[in-house]
Structure 1
Amino acid sequence: MTTIQPSPTDSTTPVATEARHDGRQELLRVAIIGNPNTGKTTLFNALTGLRQRVGNFAGVTVERVEGGFKGPDGRRITVLDLPGSYSLSAGSPDEQVALEVLLHRDADRWTPDVVLVVIDAVHLERNLFLASQVLELGIPVVIALNQFDVAQDEGIAIDVPELIHELGVPIVPTVAKRGEGLDPLKRALITAASLPAPARKFVLPADVEDALAPLKSCLVEAGLTPTAAGMEALRLLSVSKSEPHLVTVPQLQVQIQDAMATLKNRGFTPNRLESEVRYAWIAGVIERTVSRPRTIKQNLSDQIDRIALHRVLGPVIFLVLMAVVFQAVFSWATPLMDGIEVLIGALGGAVGDRMADGDLKSLVVDGVFGGVGSVLVFLPQIAILFAFITLLEHSGYMARAAFLMDRIMRTVGLHGKSFIPMLSGYACAVPGVMATRTIEDPKDRLATIMVVPLMSCSARLPVYTLLIGAFVPATSLIPGLTLQGATMLGMYLLGTVAALAVAAIFKRTLLKGPVRPMILELPPYRLPSAWSLLVSVAQRCQLFLRRAGTVILALSIVLWAMATYPKSAVDASLPAEAQQEQQLEHSVLGQIGHAIEPVVRPLGYDWKIGVSIAASFAAREVFVSTMGTIYGVGSENEAALTEKLVAETNPVTGQRVYTPLVAIGLMVFYVFALMCISTVAVTVREAGGGALGWKWATIQFGYMLVLAYVAAWIVYAGGTALGWGG
């Protein structure tokens, strides 16, 4: 049995990092890390508010969120929100990113001056494992003892002064969702920057220290501080797969194998050594600092889970919640959409009235207001969808959804943990693909990446809403649910079922492998912070607006030019709309459309739909702006575009171009087709980069396009055969 003893005070502990000595006295860099479900992101949002920027770590696509605030002393404090990690074991790509930053191996050279470790006060024992690793990195540390109010409500008494004594770093109780403890926390971060960095709080047996000494020396030569090398040497004993830096450091792999062999000869189990020594120390800390009530009553979360996780009621509740979400997307957003439509119409009309007739006016009114405005009107629906997804995630229900889906996911070769990135795909496929980094098994991660884009993302909402609003009546099915809401839910369910079916095919062919058991923490149910919800929704809306103001604007201008030139002679005796149609027929866009038409005609589409589909390969929502540009709705936006689509007829046959059957087939096409350059790019990088990444991205794009075409053809041909084509 290994004996762990407290370490003596070490006055020679290395102080801080090189970043603290480069003359940047006005900037303090703080990296925030913690286990999932500790309220880390809520605390980050509370500290930084909306003063954040989102990007990616260099060389990887894990989302990088930075924010900042001004400290009590006037100093500028920059905060980097590291991915949630249970430890620094680097078992997943997310944990690998956190380790790279904390060991100063980040490609961006983002070197923290202070590390803020967020700990769940209710689950102190489990959270202290990560904290104990961070304490050994040679960087000043502050601990936020978050959800302190929940611990008190459950009768858990934590002796904070004694805990400070045990860990040797500032500890601040916080309630992030209510903003409690923020001021003391900010002061602690500034104070910690001038304190000596902490060191290991326990002593390893002499035999272990001797066995690890050569490995530690090798790591110090590779650039780590002595304290960080001690942590890394102990961690590497349990590493089961190669990491990038193991290849670049000469003799490191040899030293790891030698250390493991020596420890085995001395009676230790190397891959369990770190967890044994850390948890032995943690047990002593908990015994001296925490007292719990003798009788543990069933908490509210357990009582709710008896219903929410029921084998029958659980899936029904999940389905009802999804129906509420999609019905709300229609009913709640309507007043806001009408308001935006009136505002855009007024702005477009005011600008158009002050311009002389001609191409410039057409560009502004039809190209800019008609293209971008037709997409901006859907912002309320996207905001509502993001709000619901964020609410489900922050409340703790998202983990339950993954648990409920585990039984279904296992039948297709995955486990419930893969469903979390798929649920994220409802908002956007890009973060959904990036969220697969929490999946340890490479084949499971790749299979999930390949199907995430099948989940209907928010970019499909403008397409669904336009077509459902025009061709699906708002007939009430049951109280609170209309045929429109049910159709929207049907599109999302279709994508989800297809994703599961395709995942089963991949896991039985190209990515065949065993089904691994799922280990998933179910966080307690919480009422999310209104501010945190606002920040999350605002960030996503900003990204949507940025795309509307860049990609969609640029494409709208290009499409307007293609629809306007070259100029051709038109019959002046015809009505204005007929003249516009004649000009459009002979334009570059019209010529391209007629070339595409034979390909899309079997699906019931005309050349205008074909052009809009082709344009939306950049981004799905461009379909709506392209239709707005083609039909020249100007600033009148959705209502006018809907009227145009409903009234559109084939000039030869006189039949309506758009019917409910065509609309359903078009929505089915967009359920399956991968119309998003950003998703292709992130798949390339997440699937391995280079030729390997492009191989998987090509397979993904190809199978989704074929699936979309075949499914849309089946809908149109089958519906026509049944007499539903009118």
Structure 2
Amino acid sequence: MSDCCVTETIDIQVEPRVPGKIRTVALVGPPNSGKSTLFNRLTGLRQKVANYPGVTVEQHVGKLSGIGRSDLLLIDLPGIYSLESFSEDARVAVDVLRGRMPGTPEPDAVLLVLDSLHLRRQLMLAASILSLGLPTLILLNMSDLMETRGGEVDTLALAQELGAPVAKISASRGTGLDAITHFLDRKSEPDVPRNAGRLELPVMGNARSYRQWATGISTRTKYKAPLSSEWTRKLDRLLLHRIVGPLLFLAVVITVFQVVFSVGQPLSDGFGDFLNRAGDKVGVFLGHGWLESLVIDGVWKGVASVLVFLPQILLLFLFIGVLEDSGYLARAALIADRVMRSIGLNGKAFIPLLSAYACAVPAIMATRTIENKRDRFATILVAPFMTCSARLPIYLLMIAAFIPNKPIIGGLLGMRAAVMLSLYLLGFLAALATARLLKSSILKTSSAPFILELPQYRLPTLRSLGLRVFDRGKVFLKQAGTIILAVTLVLWVLSHVPFHSTLPDSVIGRVGHWIEPVIRPLGFNWKIGIGLLSSIVAREVIVGTLGTLYGADSTGLQVALHHDLTLGGAMALVVFFAFAMQCTSTLAIVRRETNSWKWPALQFAYMSVLAYVAALATNLLVTHLFL
């Protein structure tokens, strides 16, 4: 995981170029080469994030204040393997490097980051970059790991072969960065010429020529690839096994959900008690009347009913962070490629779909690395089926209210964890089935190869995990402090207008009763209907809405829902949320990524109909079984 950053305003001004003088530097490198970590270190963790005009690729720029060169601007280009790729990321990189990107200054120099652990393959990118003729410094990242694992390379010979300076660095440790300062200081002098070394480039666009060129340079520079550790080889033989690998992955997933409930539930209960006591103390100072009702019943209980699930959500993301930082999730992507191909998707779709478990918005943006447009659109359309963190509050609330915490499967798994796992599986299966439908009809296309660099196994650092959990907690709290707060305030007002009326006779009550005939077959009452309408803003808002309408905290809300809903209605509600597109932010990002309202409209209609039909079937089935 790359270091977190602090955004700030950075003015990007396109100034007249002075021949030989550096004002703007481009940072280029393959994915997972450590480029983002180096960017954050060079810019002092301060950067500006925006979008390039006319495209959906993000733009990261920052002043080189981390090495005392605040007069220079650093542009972090998308991670690419080649400038000849058809992906949008590669097209943006080419346009920026050649000065064809509107509003972005043409780079005067390039920092090319290569992973020294896989140098032979990554040298192929160097040919494309060096052909541009810009002053270039080649940075061999993770050189400390290469040397400790028996790898070596003659940097002087490599520099002579490439006609450009070469330096060994470690972006994570911050070592070797003085070479960047020396390069920029020297190249900033107007009388210093550009790269003038001997360089025979391969035939552009010919993959075989690139490989032969990279192999030849690796051989002449005495590059020795580091050996994987014995533990890595043993683990890969086990974790990548065609049968054992998927079974182990399933065991890991089951363990994660079991721990989230067995450990996270007591933490959430304790946090809920704290919020309730704090609310009671605040209520004492407000006295009795409309102000107490607004602050406590309208705001506090509504927001607290969502915040109570924060410990379980953070615990889930802690586990995801451990799996990702350890290098295991990349192996899971390799295993999942077999499943992806069976439904017509490229293996590259696994990473965006996996990140959708956090949030569909960045997941949809992550599909930009998929070169084939039809594959990319298919991935975008199915990503919202993956169970994002916004669905967790309603899942946890309904499961705690209706599912007993009994052990099953010989005590290895709790019933609540099993239900939660089944909901995640339900969304995943819906995504696969929808992808298969799309790829066999309107988005049919031929398959493409899946290329993935397997990272080394490593122990996750406390700093990395802490930043990840902090970031997710901050996003969740921001959501609770803005959207959920605003919705609960509006709902409180509408539930009290006209004044001195009962809740069913209020504005919100009349709206709920108006839509109740449509949702009654699903087992929902009018309050659930209001929750469904409010959750279109954001999925987790429904919990705050119900907390406001019932005027109850998390525990009281569970009791109230258990009284107002049958088991069939409760299960229908979580199934509805497993399928429905209840998120305007996701619809907006789909519109931006597809550059059309046609696809988000189709997506919303399809998921809504599927959610309604599935919820109806669930209510009828559960009611029939438990009558």
Q: TM-score range by the shorter chain?
A: 0.7 to 0.9
Determine the C-alpha separation between the residues in 1 that align with 2:44 and 2:402. 42
How much has 1:503 moved relative to structure 2?
Answer: 0.9
CA contact (8 A) 2:41 2:66 kept: no
Aligned pairs for 1:76-155 (under 5 A) are 80-109=75-104, 112=107, 114-137=109-132, 139-155=134-150
Give the match's secondary structure for 1:304.
helix
Note if 1:657 corresponds to 2:567. Answer: no
2:620 is equivalent to residue 713 of structure 1: no
How far the C-alpha of 1:88 sits from its partner, in A, is 1.6
Find the counterpart in structure 1 of residue 433 from structure 2.
501
2:576 counterpart of 1:669: yes
In structure 1, how many angstroms separate the alpha carbons of the residues matched to 2:274 and 2:42? Answer: 35
Change in 2 beyond 3 A, CA 1:349/1:67? farther
1:601 maps to a residue whose letter is R
Secondary structure of the equivalent of 1:290?
coil
Are 1:315 and 1:404, in contact at CA under 8 Å, matched by a contact in 2? yes
The SS at the match of 2:518 is helix
* Aligned residues of 2:151 and 2:227 also touching (Cα < 8 A): no
Cα drift, residue 289 of structure 1:
2.5
Provide the TM-score with structure 2 as the length reference: 0.88
Answer yes or no: is the 8 Å Cα contact 2:567–2:623 preserved in 1.
Answer: no
Q: CA deviation at 1:101?
A: 2.9
Distance 1:532 1:182, change over 3 A: farther
In the alignment, the residues of structure 2 paired with residue 93 and residue 338 of structure 1 have an alpha-carbon distance, to the nearest angstrom, of 47
Question: Is the contact made by 1:135 and 1:200 (CA closer than 8 Å) also made in structure 2?
Answer: no
Task: Supply the distance in 2 between the matched residues of 1:354 and 1:18 (Cα, whole angstroms).
Answer: 54
Structure 1: where are the runs of 5+ without partners? 1-16, 209-233, 239-271, 570-582, 647-655
**Shift, 1:597, TM fit:** 0.6
Cα RMSD for the two superposed structures: 3.2
* Post-superposition CA distance 1:418-457 (Å, at most 9, x none): 2221111111111111121121211111111111111111
Taking the TM superposition and a 5 Å limit, the aligned residue runs for 1:170-209 are: 170-177=165-172, 179-181=173-175, 184=178, 187-188=181-182, 190-191=184-185, 194=188, 196=192, 198-199=194-195
Aligned pair partner of 1:416 in 327, 340, 347: 347
2:589 equivalent to 1:699:
no
Q: Distance in 1 between matches of 2:266 and 2:180?
A: 42
- What is the TM-score when the length of structure 1 is the normalising length? 0.76
Q: Which runs of 5+ in 2 are unaligned?
A: 1-11
Give the match's secondary structure for 1:568: coil
Letter in 2 for 1:641: L
Q: Does 1:304 align with 2:299?
A: no
For the 8 Å contact 1:379–1:541, the answer to whether it is kept is yes
Cα 1:385–1:485, aligned 2, differ >3 Å: closer, same or farther?
A: same
Matched, 1:600 2:519: yes
Aligned residue for 1:521? 453
Deviation at 1:199, TM superposition (A): 3.7
1:90–1:99 Cα contact (<8 Å) kept: no
Amino acid at match of 1:640: G
Aligned to 1:577: none
Contact 1:61/1:682 (<8 A) preserved = no
Tell me the alpha carbon deviations over residues 219-242 of structure 1, each in whole angstroms, 9 at most, x when there is no partner: xxxxxxxxxxxxxxx86xx4xxxx
Q: Which runs of structure 2 are paired with 1:478-557 in the superposition (5 Å)?
A: 478=410, 481-557=413-489
Letter in 1 for 2:584: I
Give the corresponding residue for 2:337: 406
> Aligned pair 1:558/2:490, yes or no?
yes
Q: Distance in 2 between matches of 1:495 and 1:200?
A: 56
SS at structure 1 position matched to 2:564: coil
The residue that corresponds to 1:587 in the other structure is 506
Q: Secondary structure at the match of 1:527?
A: coil
Pair 121,704 (structure 1): closer, same or farther in 2 beyond 3 Å = same
* 1:105-151: CA deviation from partner (whole Å, max 9, x where unpaired): 33442655654322111211221222333334455444332222332
Choose 426-435 or 299-308, whichever is displaced more.
299-308
Query: Which range is displaced more, 283-292 or 616-625?
Result: 283-292
Aligned to 2:585, which of 672, 678, 682? 678
Residue 322 (structure 1) shift = 1.5
Residues 144, 474 of structure 1: alpha-carbon distance in 2 compared, 3 angstrom cutoff: farther
- CA distance, structure 1, for counterparts of residue 240 and residue 278 of structure 2: 50
Aligned-partner Cα distance in 2 for 1:185–1:530: 29
**Are residues 558 and 49 of structure 1, via their aligned partners in 2, closer, same or farther at CA, if it must alter by over 3 Å?**
farther
CA contact (8 A) 1:142 1:171 kept: yes
- 1:228 maps to which residue? none
Aligned residues: 610
Amino acid at match of 1:643: V
2:222 counterpart (267, 271, 290)? 290
What does 1:254-269 correspond to in 2, within 5 Å?
none
AA partner of residue 708 (structure 1) = A
> For the Cα contact (< 8 Å) 1:141–1:192, is it kept in 2?
no
Aligned-partner Cα distance in 2 for 1:51–1:72: 13
Residues 87 and 529 of structure 1, relative CA distance in 2, 3 Å threshold: farther
Deviation per residue, 1:293-312 (Å, 9 max, x gap): 8x967754332121111111
| Whole-angstrom distance in 1 between the partners of 2:51 and 2:260 | 30
C-alpha distance in 1, partners of 2:547/2:193? 60
Amino acid at match of 1:661: G
Whether the aligned pair in 1 keeps the contact of 2:41 and 2:174 (CA below 8 Å) is no
8 Å contact kept, 2:78–2:89:
yes
For 2:461 and 2:429, locate their aligned partners in 1 and report how far apart those are by CA, in whole Å. 33
1:40 correspondence with 2:35: yes
SS of 1:427 mapped into structure 2: coil
Q: Does 1:623 align with 2:542?
A: yes
Distance 1:432 1:547 in 2: 18
Shift of 1:375: 2.2
In structure 2, what residue type is equivalent to 1:502?
T
SS of corresponding position for 1:116: strand
C-alpha distance 398-103 of structure 1, shift in aligned 2 (>3 A): farther
Matches within 5 A, 1:248-259: none
Give the Cα–Cα distance (whole angstroms) in 2 for the partners of residues 473 and 659 of structure 1. Answer: 15
Structure with bigger gyration radius:
1
Corresponding residue number in structure 2 for 1:573: none
